[in-house]
Amino acid sequence: MKKINFAIISMCMILVSCNNSAEKRQAATEKIKAGITKTDWGSADGKAVYLFTLTNKNGDEVRVSNYGGTITSWTMPDKNGNKTSIVLGFDSLSGYLAKPPYFGATIGRYGNRIANGKFNLGNTEYTLAQNNGKNSLHGGLKGFDKVVWDASPLIDSIPSLTLHYLSKDGEEGFPGNLSVAVKFSLSDDDALTIEYNAETDKPTPVNLTNHSYFNLSGDVSNTILDETLMINAGHYTPVDTSLIPTGEIKSVKGSPFDFTAPEKIGARIGQVKGGYDHNFVLNRKDSLLDLEATLFDPMTGRKLEVYTTQPGIQFYSGNFLDGSIKTSSGKPINQHAALCLETQHFPDSPNEPLFPSTILGPGEKYHSITEYKVLVVGKKD
Ligand code: BGC
């Protein structure tokens, strides 16, 4: 039944997209039902790659590929009705095969860095692929961002896509077969929910996140320095020169890391060597789905709310973007052209006994939810 719905809605959407006249398009737009379409997008590792488009009743779209579990675009209007994507991404698979810095990707088995690519579990020392100097970053040389996932699109009350991946025992040096499911759903009030589930057959560190780069203006010619950020974090984890936490959990008070009230990102970034690339320790003591960060672009009126069950957010201000990568329309992606708010556990937790544990054991269930919701302030009707 669900498969039939999927086929019918796909056909309707093809008909809608074939309709060229502006007036007719307007009429057809009203008929758009929340839905999901699937497009062939090439292949990688001998497996078929697809691009799925999740559309809600407003006609807003999130595109996700099963290559890397990657969000490739999130298109919605700004306050003037201009539709643009609020995340960095490419129009074709080749952009991703060129290994951009994790644009929109699902990150695993371990988001962010593990010092020297080593950790101990019991009496065993594990050695991971070192892909960031001597450290292991975002799961190693071929993390979850570079594999082809199995996909199950579904239309229930809202469109959703579940991706599955079995990360084999020993992959990138991690112990245990880890079975992972990531579900993306787009609601009619423009909330993109990402739900992560995982199980293992041996104890292993797990830290899953999404690496979308947001620029709420929808145009990489504008930096994110004029956007305003709030993070519900009274503390952060300072880092050494290779971006590994020192182990200290430091108060943000009186420092450029204090985003407890909304602050313009560019206001104090000059005081942070290299720019923001730090884990913020959320004040929350539970793991309920709560509003933990907001980002606002005064120019377009777009406001992003980040709800999560996770204990930390890695705020990365796009410091290493240097213009060498271009958008599909040829615009250079310069430093601070976009930012990431990666909801996750703290970097290097397997080597920091005082950080919340990231070790998943057999019989346990890894579960986390992050919801990115976009509102438009000052909309002109
Ligand atoms: C890290 C940065 C890194 C970026 C892209 C972020 O999550 O914190 O240090 O450069 O990902 O790889």
The yes-or-no verdict on residue 177 having pLDDT over 90 is yes
Nearest to 131 by CA among 148, 150, 149, 107: 107
The active-site residue, picked from 172, 227, 342, 371, is 342
- CA pair distance 128, 199, nearest whole angstrom: 20
Residue 9 clears pLDDT 50, i.e. is over it: no
Atom 6 of ligand 1: nearest residue by CA position: 316
> Which is higher by pLDDT, 140 or 3?
140
Q: Which atom of ligand 1 is nearest to the CA of 277?
A: 8
pLDDT tens, 332-348?
Answer: 999 999 999 999 999 99
Predicted confidence band at 4 (pLDDT cuts at 50, 70, 90)?
very low
134 φ/ψ angles, rounded to the nearest 5 degrees: -90, 0
Residue ranges, CATH 2.70.98.10, the chain: 106-376
Of 96, 100, 110, 27, which is closest to residue 65 (Cα–Cα)?
96
Give residue-wise pLDDT tens across range 114-159: 999 999 999 999 999 999 999 999 999 999 999 999 998 787 788 9
List all residues 6 or more positions away from 17 whose beta carbon is below 8 Å from its beta carbon: none
Candidate of 106, 113, 138, 141 to mutate for ligand 1, largest count of ligand atoms within 8 Å of Cβ: 138
Question: Is the pLDDT at 20 greater than 90, yes or no?
Answer: no
* Model confidence at 5: pLDDT above 80: no
Q: What is the CA radius of gyration of the chain?
A: 20
Q: Is residue 199 flagged as an active site residue?
A: no
Closest CA to 318 of 306, 334, 331: 334
When pLDDT is cut at 50, 70 and 90, the band that residue 308 belongs to is very high
User: Phi-psi region for residue 377, left (φ > 0), alpha (ψ -120 to 50) or beta?
Assistant: beta
Q: Which atom number of ligand 1 is nearest to the Cα of residue 111?
A: 7
Phi first, then psi, for residue 3 (nearest 5°) are -65, -40
**Which residue among 211, 278, 336, 345 is the active-site one?**
211
Q: Report the pLDDT value the prediction gives residue 34, as an integer from 0 to 100.
A: 65
Q: Indicate the residue type of 279.
A: N
Q: Is the pLDDT of residue 276 over 50?
A: yes
Band of residue 33 on the pLDDT scale cut at 50, 70, 90: low
Q: What are phi and psi of 27, to 5 degrees?
A: -65, -40
Q: Is the pLDDT of residue 12 over 90?
A: no
The closest residue, in CA terms, to atom 9 on ligand 1 is 277
Return the residue whose CA atom lies nearest to atom 12 of ligand 1.
101
User: May I ask the CATH architecture of the domain 106-376?
Assistant: Distorted Sandwich (2.70)
- Measure 163 CA to ligand 1 centroid, in angstroms: 23
Least confident residue range of 17-26, 40-49, 81-90: 17-26
What share of the chain has pLDDT > 70, as a percent? 91
Q: What is the pLDDT of residues 47-98, one digit of tens each?
A: 999 999 999 999 999 999 999 999 999 999 999 999 999 999 999 999 999 9
Model pLDDT, residue 21: 39
Tell me the best of 99, 237, 242, 340 to mutate to test the pocket of ligand 1, counting ligand atoms within 8 Å of each CB and taking the most.
340
pLDDT for res 348: 98
Look at residue 30 and tell me whether its pLDDT is greater than 70: no
23 part of the active site: no
Per-residue pLDDT tens over the stretch 208-264? 999 999 999 999 999 999 999 999 999 999 999 999 999 999 999 999 999 999 999
Distance 20 CA to ligand 1 centre (A): 42
Cα 243 to ligand 1 centre (Å) = 9
Q: Which of 380 and 364 is assigned the larger pLDDT? A: 364
For ligand 1, atom 4, which residue shows the shortest CA distance?
A: 101
Residue 353 CA to ligand 1 center (angstroms) comes to 23
Rounded to two decimals, the pTM is 0.91
Q: What percent of the chain has pLDDT over 90?
A: 88
Work out the mean pLDDT of the chain and round it to a whole number: 92
Q: Is-contact 277 256, C-beta < 8 A?
A: no
Q: CA 100 to CA 325: how far, in whole Å?
A: 7
pLDDT score of 40 more than 80: yes
Give residues (CB < 6 A) around ligand 1: 101-102, 112, 243, 277, 314, 316, 320, 340, 342
Give the rounded distance of the alpha carbon of 183 from its chain centre.
12
How remote is the CA of residue 105 from the centroid of ligand 1, in Å?
12
Spatial distance between the Cα atoms of 236 and 142, rounded to a whole number of angstroms: 29
Region 31-51 average pLDDT:
87
